[in-house]
């Protein structure tokens, strides 16, 4: 037993990997995004690596230029229900939006998988960014909810969901065969919620799980996103390009959590990274080049044209540089753009690199190289106040996860930075996050 602070690790599982052209790699299984056996193997690999979390993203709309891995994909809550049976320890986090479902339904789905996994579930709360309105049009709405409004709804949504999760006190079910008393009606509670967005009476028809509630995860990077997540999130997921940005975000965000009256140590900040691991620097660079080479001119330009609506890409190839089209000077509202804007301005990357950046599979040079270099970067960020842990967004799968588990995890373990065995059973135990008390219990205490 050691009280030493350790790195938290989450694996972002998505078909052939984060990189949009990863399906074209010789070893890639291009039908994997809808292959349940493949996902079970991924989750088992992450569990072999003693990861805290297997993470499943989501979206509620697609179009012709969507990442191939998301066109034909599992719904994440049903997916983690299936992965629960193929694993025994790893936490399973599913993404679900608060903008297009009733809180009663989502509260149930999530608590159900938390029981199915015996307390290993987590919910990555999103509000769904939908500038094109593609998602809204799948749900009978003409236009998407305005940004801050979405977070107001999310805040009330969370209030309802967490209330419903407490419908039954932990000792409500007496189940006394002799007397015929199945439950104590004093310990069954209705939230009687009625506010701006929702009216929900309760109770929920499922009780609390072995970890009380699923763990709440959030990736809010906008202002309203941060002020929302600081109120509720137990794990924060962010993507920063370099140590300085990561450290600044870490410090600022922990401050916001403290300002919200919560203990900053109870909130884990995971930094997303897309490492490219080779036995040497040169081999890793070669891997990266190979991946980039699979982005076709047509796909790349078509994505960028769709993304930067006001820019005319006619006559340019993916080898053109960002400044030729003024991409670093744009004033776009998209948060993934703002996140990368400084990098685009500072590094003046090729359009091919801009495309990789925006599609989330391009980290800085610190993340390309042999396993020791990756471990060094992780240690520097972790020990230097820039991260409590990391979200592995492997550019290609399954190799990117397997290489990390086989080559980087042992180094972290040797340095005492990461567990060698699971010590707990639930996701909250892995993360060292307490079971939330039942809001109704104190009344009778």
* Structure-token pair, residue 286: 């070669």
**Interface size with a second copy, residues (CB under 8 A):** 70
Kindly state the helix (H) or strand (E) to which residue 273 belongs, with its residue range. strand 268-273
Question: By C-beta, is 62 or 258 nearer to a second copy?
Answer: 62
- Cβ burial 187-199 (10 Å sphere, 16+ → b, else e): bbbebebeeebbe
Q: What are 168's strand-pairing partners?
A: 188
Phi, psi of 133 (to 5 degrees): 80, 5
- If one asks whether residue 279 binds a second copy (CB under 8 A), the answer comes out as no
Return the residues of window 143-182 that contact a second copy according to CB under 8 A: 168, 173, 175, 177, 180, 182
Residues 24-53 that bind a second copy (CB under 8 A): 24, 26, 28, 30-31, 34, 36, 40
Residues 298-357 that bind a second copy (CB under 8 A): 298-299
Reduced DSSP (H G I as helix, E B as strand, rest coil) percent helix, strand, coil of the chain, to 5: 45, 15, 45
Residue of the chain from 263, 280, 296, 420 that contacts a second copy (CB under 8 A) = 296
Minimum CB separation of residue 20 from a second copy in Å reads 10
Q: Say which residues have a Cβ less than 8 Å from residue 252's Cβ, sequence separation at least 6.
A: none
Nearest distance from residue 183's CB to a second copy, in Å?
A: 7
| Distance, CA of 17 to CA of 181 (rounded, Å) | 52
Residue 196 touches a second copy, criterion: CB under 8 A = no
Longest dimension (CA), the chain: 82
Which CB sits closer to a second copy, 83 or 246? 83
Counting Cα atoms < 13 Å in the Cβ hemisphere of 237 gives 24
Position 183 contacts a second copy (CB under 8 A): yes
* Binding to a second copy, residues 235-264 (CB under 8 A): none
Q: Which of 84, 267, 270, 291 binds a second copy (CB under 8 A)?
A: 84
Among 109, 291, 358, 391, binds a second copy (CB under 8 A): 109
DSSP state of 437: P
Residue that has been written with the tokens 């049009």 in this structure: 137
Q: Is the bond leading into 117 cis (omega within 30 degrees of zero)?
A: no
Annotated binding-site ranges for FMN: 58, 95, 147, 151, 222
Q: At what angle do helices 223-232 and 243-259 cross, to 10 degrees?
A: 60
CB of 379 to a second copy, least distance (A): 37
Interacting residue with a second copy among 137, 162, 338, 439 (CB under 8 A): 137
Q: Is 256 exposed, middle or buried (0-12, 13-18, 19+ CB in 10 A)?
A: middle
The residues of the shown chain that bind a second copy, judged by CB under 8 A, are 21, 23-24, 26, 28, 30-31, 34, 36, 40, 59-62, 64, 68, 70-75, 77-79, 81-82, 84-86, 100-102, 104-105, 108-109, 111-113, 115-116, 118, 134, 137-140, 168, 173, 175, 177, 180, 182-183, 185, 188, 198-203, 205-207, 294, 296, 298-299
């Amino acid at each position: 037993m050691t009280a030493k602070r350790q790195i938290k690790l989450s694996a972002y599982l998505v078909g052939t990997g984060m990189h949009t052209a990863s399906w074209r790699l010789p070893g890639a299984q291009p039908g994997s995004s809808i292959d349940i056996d493949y996902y079970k193997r991924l989750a088992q690999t992450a569990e072999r690596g003693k990861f805290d979390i297997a993470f499943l993203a989501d979206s509620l709309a697609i179009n012709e230029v969507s990442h191939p891995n998301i066109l034909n994909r599992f719904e994440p809550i049903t997916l983690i229900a299936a992965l629960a049976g193929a694993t025994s320890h790893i936490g399973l986090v599913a993404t679900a939006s608060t903008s297009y479902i009733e809180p009663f339904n989502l509260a149930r789905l999530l608590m159900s998988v938390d029981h199915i996994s015996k307390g290993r579930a987590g919910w990555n709360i999103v509000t769904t960014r939908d500038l094109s309105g593609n998602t809204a049009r799948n749900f009978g709405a003409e236009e998407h909810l305005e940004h801050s409004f979405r977070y107001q709804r999310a805040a009330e949504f969370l209030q309802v969901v967490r209330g419903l999760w407490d419908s039954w006190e932990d000792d409500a079910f007496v189940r006394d065969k002799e007397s015929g008393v199945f439950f104590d009606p004093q310990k069954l509670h209705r939230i009687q919620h009625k506010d701006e967005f929702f009216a929900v009476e309760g109770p929920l028809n499922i009780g609390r799980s072995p970890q009380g509630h699923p763990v709440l995860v959030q990736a809010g990077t906008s202002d309203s996103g941060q002020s929302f997540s600081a109120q509720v999130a137990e794990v924060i997921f962010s993507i920063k390009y370099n140590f300085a940005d990561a450290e600044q975000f870490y410090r600022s965000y922990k401050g916001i959590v403290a300002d919200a009256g919560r203990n900053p140590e109870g909130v884990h900040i995971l930094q997303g990274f897309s490492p490219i691991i080779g036995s040497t620097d040169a081999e890793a660079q070669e891997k990266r080049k190979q991946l980039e080479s699979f982005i076709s001119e047509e796909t790349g330009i078509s994505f960028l044209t769709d993304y930067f609506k006001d820019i005319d890409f006619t006559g340019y190839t993916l080898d053109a540089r960002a400044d030729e089209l003024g991409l670093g000077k744009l004033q776009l509202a998209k948060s993934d753009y703002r996140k990368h804007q400084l990098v685009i301005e500072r590094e003046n990357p090729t359009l091919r690199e801009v495309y990789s950046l925006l599609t989330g599979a391009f980290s800085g040079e610190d993340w390309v190289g042999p396993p020791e270099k990756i471990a060094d970067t992780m240690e520097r960020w972790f020990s230097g106040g820039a991260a409590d842990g990391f979200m592995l967004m492997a550019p290609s799968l399954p190799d990117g996860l397997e290489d990390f588990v086989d080559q980087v995890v042992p180094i972290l373990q040797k340095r005492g930075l990461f567990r060698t065995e699971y010590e707990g059973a639930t996701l909250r135990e892995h993360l060292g996050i307490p079971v939330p008390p039942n809001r109704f219990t104190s009344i009778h205490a």
